[in-house]
Structure 1
Amino acid sequence: MNLLAEPLIQRMLLVGLLVGLAAPVMGTYLVQRKMALLGDGIGHVALAGVAAGWLAGSLFDLAQQDALAIPGAVLFAIIGAVVIERMRSRGAAADVVMAILFYGGIAGGVLLIGLAGGSNANLLGYLFGSISTVTWGDVWMSVGLAAVILLVGLGLRTALFAVTHDQEFARSTGLPVEALNMVVAVLAAVTITVAMRVVGVLLVSALMIVPVAIAQLITRSFARTMHLAMGIGAALTLTGIWITVFYDVQPGALIVTLGVLVYVAVASITSLTRRGT
């Protein structure tokens, strides 16, 4: 049997490819801003959004109780990202704000899932990813969101790099710094909701950051780092998903583990090479 002809495998690989390409784009900006853990804070707020969507589906007696889960995650993640960015721009400690959202999001998510009648299995699916449950509707939503991330993240790369690298210089050139900062925050939120079905909210930040960390070991250029990270992210997600077709392992955990192993291998090789020279 040709596994690639199976609709489930096609959906898994397509979503994995989209996530693998899109997540490192925003991860590159977050690493440049030294906000690599932003994904964790927003991810946990997105979990509360998922739970709120479940609760809304229960209250409105929808045929599919989780029909509003992803829209809820998108809404809550964007709100969380906007709050973090506004607080950061006003001089508040970003790590404190993220910690509050981190704990509040996961606690609210657990409570709301319980109120909606969801089970621990439903919660675990969003915590660690459940790519085997994606529908064609999920695929098309992922296509739309990933297209926005790639178009804006790549199309505005020069301006966004200027803002993330040196805000004072960017402001002196007339760039709308506050608006562009908000664009980065909102796109990070959208990226997290796209990647959530693949690796889950607990590991989503890793998929954004690890490919970038690997790419930085090889190249120093911002543009080349982003492009290489996109290729690495796509390779990691597709490899991890394909392995899970044959072995009963959790895809999200496997993808992140593969990324960490590649990082260790590349770091070791580059370290030995530099010592040799």
Structure 2
Amino acid sequence: MKEFSLYLSYPFVRYAVIVGILIALCSSLLGVILVLKRFSFIGDGLSHVAFGAVSVATVFNLTDNMVLVLPVTVIAAIFLLKGGTGGKIKGDASIAMMSVGALALGYLAMNVFSSGANLAGDVCTTLFGSTSILTLTKEKVMLCIILSIIVIATFILFYNKIFAVTFDENFAVATGINTKKYNLLIAVIIAVIVVLAMNLVGSLLISALVVFPALASMCVFKSFLSVTISSAVFSVVCTGIGLFISVLLGSPVGATIVCIDILAFSIFYLIGRMKR
């Protein structure tokens, strides 16, 4: 514990802890919605789109890749949610097409146009979040804090509407709720969280950050509110433990957090089985 306290005296470690906790909290709130709407795999598809956008931003040497990555990911999220509900290409197929296509285009762009010498290292960092969480600047931390506060405030403010749209969209329409507007809101939130989470766990592991807390909580709790609260606590605690272990042992941050999620999910699953 003394060694970790020593590490906390360094700004980059404090930045990593702050950003990691905020991303975990936002991802857990989103995960409950996506799992209940049967869109749990959308995070994986969008993360690959974000990877493609990051690759293009790297090729053009953009100093702030958020300028390109966030709008592209938001547009992709809107397309995927619309395709999943009423498009000719249904949800799972459109996610698969966009996921594979963006991943291939991103890797091709980095290979053909990249001027950097360490291509493998750049790709590995983007895919698995190897060290990017420990190299955050103060500006990126502030941006993450602002976006996280917006996401959490939006979820709390529109909780009842999101609840209605998540559980029964047809009933929500019948009661006069503009479901298109709230699905658009959910799509934007998804995109923001995916872009933020790339710094923490990388583009290949984002789905774990979104899905595990929600599924674990559903094993033990039944109501939407209790599952949401449990998911938030689960995600924050697991991310905190993962960051703690990663800093002390020097292990990859994203992979460590996901492994802690898997272990905690197993415990919740056993508790749920015992309750039944």
The structural deviation recorded for 1:116 is 3.1
Aligned equivalent of 1:116, options 91, 95, 114: 114
Alignment of 1:126-275 (within 5 A): 126-129=126-129, 130-274=132-276
Out of 24, 38, 45, the residue aligned to residue 49 of structure 2 is 45
The answer to whether the aligner puts 1:107 opposite 2:104 as a matched pair is yes
* Deviation for aligned residue 1:167: 1.0
Q: Which amino acid aligns with 1:128?
A: F
Shift of 1:90: 2.3
Aligned to 2:81: 85
Unaligned runs of 5+ in 1: 58-64
> Is the CA contact 1:45–1:105 (under 8 Å) kept in the aligned structure 2?
yes
In structure 2, distance between residues paired with 1:76 and 1:217: 35
265-274 or 124-133, which deviates more: 265-274
> For residues 94 and 8 of structure 1, what CA distance do their matches in structure 2 show?
39
- State the alpha-carbon separation in 1 of the partners of residues 56 and 231 from structure 2: 33
Letter in 2 for 1:34: R
Q: Quote how far apart the aligned CAs of 1:74 are.
A: 1.1
Q: What whole-Å deviation, never above 9, does each CA across 1:200-256 have from its counterpart, x for those lacking one?
A: 110001101101111112211111211111111111111111111110211101111
Q: Distance in 2 between matches of 1:143 and 1:270?
A: 34
Is contact 2:45-2:98 (8 Å) kept? yes
Equivalent residue, structure 2, for 1:61 = none
Query: Is 1:9 aligned to residue 13 of structure 2?
Result: yes
Tell me, yes or no, if structure 1 residue 23 matches structure 2 residue 27.
yes
- 8 A contact 1:236–1:255 mirrored in 2: yes
**2: CA distance, partners of 1:82 / 1:140:** 26
The answer (yes or no) to whether the contact 1:127–1:202 under 8 Å persists in 2 is yes
Equivalent pair of 2:84/2:92 in contact (CA under 8 Å):
no
Q: Contact (CA 8 Å) 1:51, 1:69: kept in 2 or not?
A: no
- Give the letter for the 1:140 counterpart: M
The letter for the 1-side match of 2:31 is G
| Residue 75 of structure 2 corresponds to residue 71 of structure 1 | no
More displaced 10-residue stretch of structure 1: 86-95 or 180-189: 86-95
SS at match of 2:38: coil
SS of the residue corresponding to residue 30 of structure 1 reads helix
* CA–CA separation in structure 2 for the residues paired with 1:132 and 1:52: 23
Query: Post-superposition, which runs of at least 4 consecutive aligned residues in structure 1 deviate over 6 A?
Result: none
Give, in whole Å, the separation in 1 of the partners of 2:223 and 2:121: 43
- Amino-acid identity (%): 27
Separation (CA, whole Å) in 1 of partners of 2:198 and 2:264? 22
- Residue 272 (structure 1) shift: 3.0
Q: Which runs of 5+ in 2 are unaligned?
A: none
Q: Any conservation in 2 of the 1:56–1:68 contact (CA below 8 Å)?
A: no
SS in 2 for 1:68: coil
Aligned residue number for residue 60 of structure 1? none
- CA–CA distance in 2 between the matches of 1:261 and 1:139? 29
d(CA) in 1 for partners of 2:274 and 2:165? 35
Distance 1:214 1:150 in 2: 21
Instruction: Decide which of 88, 95, 98 is 2:95's aligned counterpart.
Output: 98
Distance 2:200 2:209 in 1: 10
Count, aligned residues: 266
Please report how far the alpha carbon of residue 186 of structure 1 lies from its aligned counterpart in structure 2 after TM superposition: 1.5
Mapped to 2, the partners of 1:214 and 1:117 lie a distance apart of 43
Decide whether the 8 Å contact of 1:15 with 1:142 is kept in 2: yes
